[in-house]
Chains A and B, each alone.
Chain A
Amino acid sequence: MFRLPRIGRRPVVDARGARRHTDQSHAIAARDVHFSWEGVPMHYIPGEPMATHIINVMHLVLPEGERAMSKALAEALPLITDERLREEVVGFIGQEATHASSHEGAREHLATLGLDVEPIARKMDWLVDRVLGEHGLTGRARHAWLCERLGLFAAMEHYTAVVGEWLLEAEHLERKGMHPTMLDLVRWHGAEEVEHRNVAFDAFLHVDGSYARRVRTSLVASFTLATLFLTTARYLYRTDPTPGARRWWVTELLSATRRGVIPKATIFLTEIPKYLRPSFHPSQLGPMDTALRYLARSPAVSTA
């Protein structure tokens, strides 16, 4: 049933939310991972420059965003009274930190191969700082801005969980001969995104939960991510130093999508109604087993 957001009333803890936890918590904790970039070529998906650059966007765009997200969640921590969610948020912050530093490792490697990554990294740094920083706000405005950022990050995490699931199931990447180290990086990352898919969403619901904010931030997040992915992939494809004739980037993008080597860009539209269903919760996204199994055999994860 679709419920309209309440307008003009005092904050309430709604009836659904006043319930007790009825199931176990899944422990979220960072994993100590190690990647060796030696021998990873520029086009680590052989013969698929566009798909390679779509994945490169993750190395370039995500680390700054992940840092900003960790900061926002750390700022929200004192407002979270549920010990279970607090634990999950603490673990989430560490997972995001290891994602950011691992992608940066890949980024530095690509730079040594001659890919012009610095301008993008600098731009992201500048933008994230301008747009998502704290801006010295105080009082009510500071709280509202924190809630707004939590809403944005919750919506973005929905996409990382959806793409994470896709990466875990994308057998094409193996068949295409994607370099195992790079494949392990994106699958480990994807698996942890699936593992912690509920955390940013639950943190947003706990601290604010405004439905109007959820609608607004999901639209802004979808538009922003789509724009960042498309413009960055286009830039990388066009500045790729590898010699040889190349097709128009749009043709190449559509062809890669059709062959299933990258997720469909239309998810930035089709996921919005799912995310905005009032009864939506990330735990409905499907079983976590594939993700947990991957984490139990990822070469980068060192255990035992």
Chain B
Amino acid sequence: MTTTRQPTTAMRIAAAAGGAYRGVFAESRLAPLLSRPQPVRRTGFDLDLSILDRREEAEDVVSLVLGDVDGRPLPSWVPGAHVDVFLPSGRQRQYSLCGDPADRRAYRVAVRRIPGGEGGSAEVHGLRVGDPVRVRGPRNAFSLVDAGSYLFVAGGIGITPILPMVRETERRGRPWRLVYRGRSRASMPFLRELAHYGPAAVDVRTDDVTGRPDLATILPLAEPGAAVYLCGPPALTDGAWRMLRDIDPAASLHTERFSPLPVVGGRPFRIRLARSGVTVDVAGEETALAAVRRALPGVAYSCRQGFCGTCKTRVLDGRVEHRDRTLTARERQDAMLLCVSRASGSLVLDL
């Protein structure tokens, strides 16, 4: 550490005290006696479940009910939670829980088959009652929080996290309204479950009747200071933040926080890790971070979207194709973010 001025006496004393403390509680022979470990370690984030029920809910949409084979209670959740489902092929997909949080014996998910998708949804549709399935979670990135009133906006299969929210809000007796959009009624799951709330509360709009989705006609329905929960395709949700700010700055906008987007338009390249003396190949559809972690599992990272800067790494040689949103031009001269940036040739990193 370089300091241009001499440290003050108080700082020297503080540093010496820190050193003495470390000497006693970490380095001395007494240290283990002064702190007996008593770790608290939990298990059960990964659950081995099986399919208890399977139903066709709409065109191309099936729902699956998952439960413990021995009937053990499952971890509790609040509306907005999702689980990771590990498919037999090794794919890992996230699906919102759309059942009843009070039912501790079962989780329900609903999945739309995406024609020409990567195959995850088709695989889920192929699962049958009795099939074992490994699940991770539940995890919540879209929590239903306490508010005076609610506006729910769902597009298509985006109804899944909203459905338990509607039920819970109704149970709490809070004013709410749902705008549920879809291509056509036949393609929209759970219309029957929603029917008993009445057309004043549940406003179903379809492309074949009302045309393309338009948030500008939906967001003004929120009462002042409402919590707006929004889940659907980008065509429905784009621009929502700014629009709601203009309509009512006291309202809050809740959207599900997604995991990082897949790599697009990436070409393979090679990285040499200078300090470890290892070379790793980065495939076209993976990030440099993923490749480096195969060789160095302990490498630091966090957001995986190029803004938090945790995975900033010194570049010793090579031309980087920067895709981050945080480094300054000066930092880019000799550093990169492993989670998003790539290279066209090969790179040498200080790792």
Contact = CB atoms under 8 A, between A and B. Distances in A.
A20 B43 contact: yes
A84 B45 contact: yes
B241 interface: yes
A148 B26 contact: yes
B12 to A, nearest CB: 9
B143 to A, nearest CB: 6
B143 A304 contact: no
Contacts of A263: none
A137 B40 CA distance: 25
B307 to A, nearest CB: 4
A104 to B, nearest CB: 11
Contacts of B40: 13-14, 16-17, 202, 205-206, 209
A81 B40 CA distance: 11
B42 A19 contact: yes
B42 A17 contact: yes
B26 A137 contact: yes
Given A6-B38, A16-B40, A25-B45, A303 B31 contact: no
Contact of A74 (B33, B254, B300): B300
Interface stretch (A37-45, A53-61, A120-128, A250-258): A120-128
A160 interface: no
Interface size class of A (residues with CB under 8 A): 35 or more
Contact of A9 (B36, B240, B300): B36
B149 interface: no
Interface residues of B, number: 77
B75 A144 contact: no
B187 interface: no
Given A208-B35, A293-B252, A123 B21 contact: no
B22 interface: yes
Given A23-B75, A29-B141, A144 B42 contact: no
Interface string B8-39: 10010011001101100111000111111111
B341 interface: no
A84 B326 CA distance: 28
Given A24-B76, A144-B35, A82 B307 contact: no
Contacts of A19: 42
Nearest to B80: A24
A297 B248 CA distance: 10
A141 B252 contact: no
A131 B23 CA distance: 11
Given A24-B75, A145-B26, A17 B39 contact: yes
A125 B37 contact: no
Interface in B212-268: 227, 230, 237-241, 245, 249-255, 257
Residue of A26, A202, A288 ringed by the most chain B CB atoms within 10 A: A26
B89 interface: no
A97 B76 CA distance: 31
B303 interface: yes
A207 interface: yes
B11 A296 contact: no
Q: Is the interface of A mostly helix, strand, loop or mixed?
A: helix
A171 interface: no
Given A141-B26, A304-B238, A70 B35 contact: no
B297 interface: yes
A209 to B, nearest CB: 4
A90 interface: yes
Contact of A24 (B35, B43, B137): B137
B136 interface: yes
Nearest to B72: A20
A287 interface: yes
A214 B63 CA distance: 47
A257 B11 CA distance: 28
Interface in A180-230: 202, 205-213, 216, 220
B41 A297 contact: no
Contacts of B103: none
A22 interface: yes
Interface of B: 1, 3-5, 7-8, 11, 14-15, 18-19, 21-22, 25-27, 31-46, 73, 75-78, 81, 136-141, 143, 145-147, 227, 230, 237-241, 245, 249-255, 257, 297-298, 300-303, 305, 307-310, 325-326
Q: Which 4 A-B pairs have the closest CB atoms?
A: A94-B302, A17-B40, A20-B44, A131-B18
26 contacts: A6-B38, A11-B37, A12-B38, A19-B42, A21-B45, A21-B75, A27-B257, A30-B303, A32-B305, A70-B310, A82-B41, A94-B302, A95-B302, A97-B310, A98-B309, A101-B326, A119-B5, A126-B11, A135-B22, A141-B27, A148-B22, A206-B41, A212-B35, A216-B25, A293-B252, A294-B252
